[in-house]
Amino acid sequence: MTNEDQKDSATVWFGSLYCLFKASRGISWGKDEYIPVDVMDYRKQQEFLRNSRVCGVSLVLVLLGMAAICLRTGGEITLAVLIAFAMATVALAASIYYTPNYLHLTVVPQKTLRWEIRIRWRVIGAALIIGMLLASSTRGRISVLIAAAWLLVANLLARRVVPQGYFPAYFWATDYALLATALLFTPFNLLLGAVLLAAAAHLSIVICSKRHLLWAALVTICGWLLVFFSAQRRGAGLEAGLSCAGLLVITTLATAWLVDRAERHNAKNISAAMRELMDFNGFSADRIRHLWQVSNQELAENWQEAAIAEDDAERMAEWYRRNSELYLFAISGYNLEYKRIRSNLQVIRFARGFCLDYGAGNGELLLELARRGHPVTYYDVEGESMKFAQGRAKKQGLAVEIAHSKEDLAAAARTHGFDTIFSFDVLEHLPDLPGELNFLSSLLNPGGLLVFDVPAGSTKSHPMHLNHHLDILAHLSAKGLEDKRNLALKLPLKREEKFVFQAPRH
């Protein structure tokens, strides 16, 4: 490596580390992370996620800088190896940036283990397809098939015979054995082996349930030994061995730190949610955690047993009233998920003037709007969720108008109207979707926004979702409402679609 190359690499490193330092200054450390708080503050969530983006980008830049150094010190490589190395590095960088928040802002500990199984099926498919396309000989294709078969068997055995607490060690051991065989006994490229070793370490650390730094240190030592033995066996230079080891170190430390950071933030959110629930119903922490785990499953079973016809609105309303306590915990747990937090932060930006949350549940979104100064109206079926939302509003000193019927909402619309109406995770439960949309649009002030979602039908975990077959865009456009979704919301990437419509201004 030339002096000029070293200066360029140092610039990338120190610039990225400086950004990381600046972002982390807003993060509290140590025991302060676990101080109980009264409510989950969405401004704090926004700050955390914003800092996460800065930290993630900074660490990714450090990783890419190290990958560039590996390429400069690794000697001559083929085009096929370069393509595979680049693809693996980009995939690893994307996972480091996104995965810790996604997996660890949750109340479901099993989420990480289910994710590991699913992601490994995708890894196996990608390795098989890319490996077969890039292999230049019959021997190479056979090696790809053997590696894919090894990973496939490891994944199948994990689901059947491996206790979940041993998943990190099990997957690290199986990946390590495969890569050690390739690097020590075949002409497998050292650079490609190093980035795959780093990816295996990353996947192992993100599912480790505790002591992430200790586990990261253990896998780093194992990885170092393999990298240096492989480099020595191949006669690679010291710089090549050090740069490959550096790639592994950056990956393990970055992953462990981001996972620990996300879990600490999640502990604060859980503490706030649990305190509110304990104050409301007096349940123990263990009881609350149990209900977070099983409420959705019990709701699905109760719905199947009730066997309510899809057009029986009266029986449905009664069923939701009787199951409102389970919904209280299902909604509470859902509000602690990464995707829900992000979703709430995104839709809050649409709020203006008088706001209605139609099917407000625990009041999570509505109370945040009230904290931000919006006049708000709550509407949902009578039950535990409504009582909980009312209690939260009273305790926080927030003014919330409670509507107990559609007649109450119509009266409120005549008094002040609504500038923004939200309805999330609600309309899929109601039999008359066209009628509900017509009613909600009738409550809007001129130029008001209707923001809602409608998941696409029932699933095994949510059989109570009804199978509506309505062209929502055509239906509301015919009533004079204008589609105001941005490009991101229009992309058909999810079963659950969000809609934003604006009422005519006159």
Structure confidence by residue, pLDDT tens digits, 481-506: 999 987 777 765 554 578 999 999 87
321 sits in which H/E element? helix 313-322
SS3 sequence, 1-50?
CCHHHHHHHHHHHHHHHHHHHHHHCCCCCHHHHHCCCCCCCHHHHHHHHH
236 vs 251, more confident = 251
pLDDT at 496: 53
CA gap 120, 145 in Å, rounded: 16
Between 212 and 347, whose confidence is greater?
Answer: 347
Q: What's the pLDDT at 36? A: 38
With 70 as the cut, is the pLDDT of residue 155 above it? Answer: yes
Cβ–Cβ < 8 Å for 105, 265 = yes
Nearest to 88 by CA among 175, 166, 11, 163: 175
CA atoms 368, 371, 376, 378: torsion sign = positive
Share of the chain above pLDDT 90, in %: 71
Among the ranges given (112-116, 309-313, 334-338, 347-351), the one the predictor scored with the smallest mean pLDDT:
309-313
Residue 329's SS3 state is helix
pLDDT at 491: 67
pLDDT of 80: 86
Question: How large is the average pLDDT for residues 53-64?
Answer: 95
Mean pLDDT for the stretch of residues 104-114 = 91
* pTM (predicted TM-score): 0.86
Digit-coded pLDDT (tens) for 263-283: 999 999 999 999 999 999 999
Rounded alpha-carbon distances, angstroms, from residue 400 to 335, 341, 365, 488: 20, 22, 12, 32
* Whether residue 86 has pLDDT greater than 90: yes
Task: Quickly count: other Cβ atoms within 10 Å of residue 365's Cβ.
Answer: 23
**Structure confidence at residue 175 (pLDDT):** 96
Rounded average pLDDT over 391-417: 95
Q: Under a CB-based contact definition with an 8 Å cutoff, are residues 280 and 332 in contact?
A: no
Give pLDDT, residue 85: 93
Mean pLDDT of 385-389: 95
Query: What's the residue count for the chain?
Result: 506
pLDDT for 73 equals 86
Q: Rounded distance, CA 363 to CA 246, Å?
A: 48
Q: How far apart are CA 5 and CA 176, in angstroms?
A: 32
Q: Inform me whether the pLDDT recorded for 194 exceeds 90.
A: yes
Q: What is the pLDDT of residue 271?
A: 94
Instruction: Give the C-alpha separation, 460 to 86, whole Å.
Output: 39
- Amino acid 136: pLDDT: 80
Identify the residue with better confidence: 451 or 241: 451
Q: Quick check: 27 pLDDT over 80?
A: no
Q: 400-403 and 376-379: which strand pairing?
A: parallel
Give one DSSP letter per residue of 449-464, joined into a string: EEEEEEE-S--SS-TT
Three-state SS at 446: strand
Element of type H or E holding 498:
strand 496-502
Q: Give yes or no for a contact between 281 and 292, defined as CB atoms under 8 angstroms apart.
A: no
Minimal CA–CA distance to 295: which of 495, 462, 113, 426? 462
pLDDT at 160 over 50: yes
CA 299-102-302 angle, 5° bins? 5
Residue 447 DSSP code: E
Q: What was the pLDDT predicted at 393? A: 95
Residue 5 pLDDT > 80? no
Packing angle between helix 167-185 and helix 111-134, nearest 10 degrees? 20
Residue 297 identity (one-letter amino acid): Q
Residue 40, token pair as written in the block: 């989950």
- Give phi and psi for 449, each to the nearest 5: -110, 140
Token output for 26: 């807003």
For the segment 128-133, the average pLDDT, to the nearest whole number, is 88
- Does position 402 have pLDDT exceeding 90, yes or no? yes
Using an 8 Å Cβ cutoff, are 172 and 207 in contact? Answer: no
Are the C-beta atoms of 259 and 104 separated by less than 8 Å? yes
Could you give phi then psi for residue 109, rounded to 5 degrees? Answer: -60, -30
Q: What is the mean pLDDT of residues 180-206?
A: 93
Which range, of 205-219, 306-320, 480-494, averages the lowest pLDDT? 480-494
Residue range 49-56: mean pLDDT, rounded: 95
Backbone angles phi, psi at 455, to 5 degrees: -55, 150
The backbone torsions φ and ψ at residue 439, rounded to the nearest 5 degrees and listed phi first, read: -65, -45
pLDDT the model gives residue 492: 59
Task: State how far the Cα of 78 lies from the Cα of 150, in Å rounded to an integer.
Answer: 25
C-beta pairs of 220-223 under 8 Å, 24+ apart in sequence: 220/248, 220/249, 220/252, 220/253, 222/172, 222/176, 223/176, 223/197, 223/198, 223/248, 223/252
The Cα 169–Cα 113 span in angstroms is 12
pLDDT(1) > 60? no
Task: Give yes or no for residue 414 having a pLDDT over 70.
Answer: yes
Angle at 267 between CA 263 and CA 271, to 5 degrees: 170
400 burial (CB, 10 Å; 0-12 / 13-18 / 19+) is buried
- Worst-scoring range by mean pLDDT, 288-297, 308-317, 337-346, 385-394? 308-317
- Give dist(CA 302, CA 208) in Å, integer: 34
Please report, rounded to a whole number, the percentage of residues in the chain having pLDDT higher than 70: 91
The answer on pLDDT for 233 being more than 50 is yes
Helix, coil or strand: residue 55: helix
Spatial CA neighbour of 273 closest among 321, 196, 223, 330: 330
Find out whether 336 and 270 touch, Cβ atoms under 8 Å: yes
Q: Are 23 and 55 in contact (CB under 8 A)?
A: yes
Across 21-25, 238-242, 502-506, least confident range: 21-25
In whole angstroms, give the CA distance from residue 356 to residue 210.
42
